[in-house]
């Protein structure tokens, strides 16, 4: 049966309840049996909605889309090794978050919701604001005071209302949670419909590889929305017998904000405290990922790992990508720096996939990039 299900107490709720967490306070997941039509899919429009039967939105008329997804899987040379890179930085609003926003806002429309709130350092907020604009839904985005002006400008341009909150991301979360008592919480971290969009990332990779799973996928791990979505997507394809395995998932964090990396390497069961965070990876400055347990379980169950990259490695990798003609923002360079680190530690021949998560135009004034 299609339903929302609690990952802690197993309470179940209808898919049409406008709720984003369990009464016990835990995150919810979606129980839904996806199906695929591998014969007709290659002839469909090149968007993530080509996997329509695998996305739990009831009526086509509720779909809110800019024809996002089906991004190219570009072969890029990383120090003599070939890596396949999904170009999600050229998504409609400039980040992979469009995948999640498309399904989440479609669901909001299906529920007849006219107003949503969300908290974000910028990219999820931009994506949500754009899709809400297309759907005619009002949206308010809570952001940290230190959010990049270029990202705030994008949210405001789409008509999103911005509420700046003093303090860290925690304070922003708390303010959004308070607002969510009265208005639908379209949170990319809490709301499980977001992952129903990011999971298409895995479907696309497999289709682009001739319906085969790659060996390893290197992904960002802030709130883990792409990582968890990918895990769901790869699991779906294996369950229905299209692929025969789930790739190793490797999550990358900025060393200055690496709670998941520390939980993995030190075998911790609780999220460790991270001091005041100061990193160029503004989109990944997440100290308390709400789905931390699920992210760890996903990575461990695939035989994967976490990597942490230093600030100088992030900036060097961003510059390297720029010089290859790939204009990415600094948060996205956490992942490419992780790819470089991964390749230094491994020698084998394997199909390795990664992603460019956010467009370089989102970094704002690039003083650091202009040095020759
Ligand atoms: C450009 C970019 N890359 C990576 C991430 C990290 O994604 P997640 O928090 O879903 O792990 C974000 C999150 O905002 C982002 O904006
Ligand atoms: Zn529960």
Residue 223, ligand 1, Cβ within 6 A: yes
**pLDDT at 83 (0 to 100):** 98
Note the Cα 61 to chain centre separation in Å: 25
How far apart CA 199 and CA 221 sit, in angstroms, is 15
**pLDDT at 371 (0 to 100):** 44
276-318 pLDDT, tens per residue? 788 999 899 899 999 999 999 999 999 999 999 999 999 999 9
Buried-exposed string 45-67: b where 16+ CB fall within 10 A, e elsewhere: eebbbbbbebbbbeeeebbbbbe
Tell me what the pLDDT averaged over the chain comes to: 95
**pLDDT at 31 (0 to 100):** 96
Residue 221, ligand 1, Cβ within 6 A: yes
Give the percent of the chain with pLDDT over 90.
88
Query: Which tokens go with 1?
Result: 């049966």
**Complete DSSP assignment for 101-160:** HHHHHHHHHHTT--EEEEE-SSHHHHHHHHHHHHHT-EEEEEEETTS-HHHHHHHHHTT-
19-58 pLDDT, tens per residue? 999 999 999 999 999 999 999 999 999 999 999 999 999 9
With a cut of 70, say whether residue 337 has pLDDT above it.
Answer: yes
Are 287 and 223 in contact by the 8 Å Cβ rule? The answer is no
Confidence at 4, pLDDT banded by 50, 70, 90: very high
For residue 123, the ligand closest to its alpha carbon is 1
With a cut of 70, say whether residue 125 has pLDDT above it.
Answer: yes
Q: Model-level pTM? A: 0.96
With a cut of 90, say whether residue 72 has pLDDT above it.
Answer: yes
Residue 225, ligand 1, Cβ within 6 A: yes
Closest CA to 221 of 200, 247, 245, 249: 249
Confidence at 366, pLDDT banded by 50, 70, 90: low
C-alpha of residue 176 to centroid of ligand 1, in Å: 19
**pLDDT at 113 (0 to 100):** 97
C-alpha of residue 253 to centroid of ligand 2, in Å: 28
- Per-residue pLDDT, averaged over 205-228, amounts to 98
- Per-residue pLDDT, averaged over 347-361, amounts to 95
How far apart CA 203 and CA 73 sit, in angstroms, is 12
How far apart CA 175 and CA 289 sit, in angstroms, is 16
**pLDDT at 370 (0 to 100):** 43
With a cut of 90, say whether residue 146 has pLDDT above it.
Answer: no
C-alpha of residue 173 to centroid of ligand 2, in Å: 20
- Per-residue pLDDT, averaged over 199-218, amounts to 98
- Per-residue pLDDT, averaged over 154-181, amounts to 91
Question: In this structure, how many other beta carbons lie within 10 angstroms of the beta carbon of residue 309?
Answer: 26
> For ligand 2, a single-atom ion, which residues have Cβ within 5 Å?
6, 8-9, 11, 22, 24, 26
**Nearest CA residue ID for atom 1, ligand 1:** 358
Shortest-distance atom of ligand 1 to CA 286: 9
């Amino acid at each position: 049966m299609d339903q929302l299900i609690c990952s802690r107490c197993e309470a179940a709720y209808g898919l049409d309840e406008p709720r984003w967490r369990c009464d016990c306070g835990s995150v919810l997941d979606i129980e839904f049996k996806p199906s695929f039509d591998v014969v007709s899919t290659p002839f469909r429009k090149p968007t993530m909605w080509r996997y329509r039967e695998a996305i739990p939105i009831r009526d086509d008329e509720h779909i809110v889309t800019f024809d996002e997804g089906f991004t190219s899987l570009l072969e890029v040379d990383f120090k003599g090794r070939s890596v396949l890179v999904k170009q999600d930085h050229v998504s409609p609003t400039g980040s992979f978050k469009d995948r999640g926003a498309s399904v989440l806002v479609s669901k909001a429309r299906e529920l007849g919701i006219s107003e949503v709130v969300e908290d974000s350092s910028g990219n999820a907020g931009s994506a949500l604001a754009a899709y809400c604009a297309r759907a005619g839904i009002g949206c308010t985005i809570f952001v940290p005071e230190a959010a990049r002006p270029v990202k705030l400008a994008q949210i405001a341009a789409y008509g999103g209302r911005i509420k700046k909150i003093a303090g860290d991301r925690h304070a922003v979360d708390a303010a959004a949670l308070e607002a969510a008592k009265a208005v639908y919480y379209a949170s990319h971290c809490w709301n499980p419909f977001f992952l129903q969009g990011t999971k298409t990332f895995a479907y696309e990779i497999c289709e682009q590889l001739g319906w085969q799973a790659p060996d390893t996928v290197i992904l960002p791990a802030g709130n883990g929305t792409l990582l968890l979505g990918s895990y769901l997507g790869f699991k779906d394809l294996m369950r229905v017998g299209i692929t025969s395995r789930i790739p190793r998932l490797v999550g990358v964090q900025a060393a200055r904000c690496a709670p998941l990396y520390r939980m993995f390497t030190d075998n911790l069961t609780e999220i460790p405290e991270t001091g005041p965070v100061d990193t160029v990876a503004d989109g990944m400055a997440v100290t308390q990922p709400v789905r931390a347990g699920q992210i760890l379980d996903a990575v461990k169950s695939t035989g994967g790992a976490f990597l942490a990259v230093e600030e100088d490695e992030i900036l060097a990798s961003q510059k390297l990508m720029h010089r290859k003609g790939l204009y990415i923002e600094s948060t996205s360079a956490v992942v490419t720096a992780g790819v470089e680190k991964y390749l230094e530690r491994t020698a084998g021949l394997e199909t390795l996939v990664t992603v460019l998560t956010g467009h370089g135009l989102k970094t704002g004034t690039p003083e650091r990039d202009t040095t020759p």
